[in-house]
């Protein structure tokens, strides 16, 4: 599968297509192996961008033992960025999000920054959590109880540092403080010294395992709607 993917990327680049590689990192990955992979895709494959994110511990994952917590995520990315100085990696992220991954920024997520719409509707509250659906983006924004989610508010969100929620926060910070983003872009990512203070978790509510039930309910409603339409058509 890897060889087929590489062959496809090479063919696409030869024909002038833009290619971005999405890379998810899990607990136990070696920083040097990640650095070699970034070298390979940036230099040998000549992709135009690499999107990287720590793996999120979503409830339906069969393997729950290889997800990173926030401390491990920051230590891993510091080790990776130490090896990346001057190697020309084409990381497709804002400088402040990369600085956040290295533990130098304290951010809350912006879950509506990359909303997800699937066959059931607009997924709430975010791409990674499925705890209900809205029929429109307006409904998603106005009826989702945003304060019930996010690191510090909800156990499922405790260790999340994924780009889908935190990149929008970093971009908002860059727009509000362009000088801060410029300084982060022009300087090396700090990989030593104290990290930004962490968001307290003492007040978070416990996780609710509801995804499977919600999907079953939506599938049932979909089937009922289809059968109702067939009956009306037959009549």
Task: Please tell me whether the peptide bond between 125 and the residue prior to it is cis, using omega within 30 degrees of 0.
Answer: yes
Contact between residue 72 and residue 27 where contact means Cβ atoms under 8 Å apart: yes
| In a domain? residue 28 | yes
What confidence score (pLDDT) does residue 231 get? 56
> Residues with Cβ < 8 Å from 43, sequence gap 6 or more?
88
In a domain, 133, yes or no: yes
pLDDT at position 69: 87
109 by DSSP, 3-state: which?
A: coil
pLDDT at 65: 67
The answer to whether 219 touches 133, Cβ cutoff 8 Å, is: no
The verdict on residue 58 lying in a domain is: yes
What domain count does the chain have? 1
C-alpha closest to that of 190 among 113, 105, 70 = 105
Considering the domain boundaries, does residue 44 fall inside one?
A: yes
Q: Would you say residue 47 lies in a domain?
A: yes
How far is 30 from 213, CA to CA, in rounded Å?
37
- The helix or strand, by DSSP H or E, that contains position 13, with its residue range, turns out to be helix 2-14
Cβ pair 161, 100 in contact under 8 A: yes
pLDDT of 4: 96
The pLDDT score that the predictor gives to residue 1 is 94
**Domain assignment present for 234:** no
Residue 113 is part of which domain span? 2-228
Q: Which residues in the chain land under pLDDT 70? A: 58-65, 223-235
pLDDT attached to residue 218: 75
Question: Could you give the angle at the alpha carbon of 139 between the alpha carbons of 134 and 141, nearest 5°?
Answer: 105
CA–CA dist 235, 229 (Å, integer): 10
Report the alpha-carbon angle 169-25-115, nearest 5. 35
Single pTM value for the model:
0.85
């Amino acid at each position: 599968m890897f060889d087929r993917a590489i062959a496809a990327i090479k063919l696409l680049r030869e024909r002038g297509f833009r290619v971005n590689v999405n890379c998810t990192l899990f607990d136990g990955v070696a920083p040097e192996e990640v650095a070699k992979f970034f070298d390979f895709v940036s230099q040998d494959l000549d992709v135009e961008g690499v999107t990287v994110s720590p793996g999120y511990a979503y409830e339906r994952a069969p393997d729950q033992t290889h997800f990173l917590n926030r401390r491990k995520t920051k230590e891993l990315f510091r080790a990776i960025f130490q090896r990346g100085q001057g190697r020309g990696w084409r990381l497709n992220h804002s400088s402040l999000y990369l600085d956040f991954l290295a533990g130098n920024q304290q951010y809350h997520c912006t879950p509506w920054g990359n909303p997800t719409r699937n066959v059931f509707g607009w997924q709430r509250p975010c791409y990674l959590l499925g705890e209900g659906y809205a029929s429109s983006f307006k409904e998603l924004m106005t009826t989702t109880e945003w304060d019930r989610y996010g690191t510090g508010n909800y156990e499922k969100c405790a260790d999340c540092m994924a780009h889908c929620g935190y990149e929008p926060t970093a971009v908002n910070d860059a727009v509000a403080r362009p000088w801060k983003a410029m300084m982060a872009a022009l300087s090396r990512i700090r990989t030593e010294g104290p990290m930004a203070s962490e968001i307290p978790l003492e007040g978070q509510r416990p996780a609710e395992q509801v995804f499977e039930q919600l999907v079953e309910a939506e599938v049932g409603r979909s089937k009922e709607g289809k059968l109702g339409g067939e009956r009306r058509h037959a009549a």
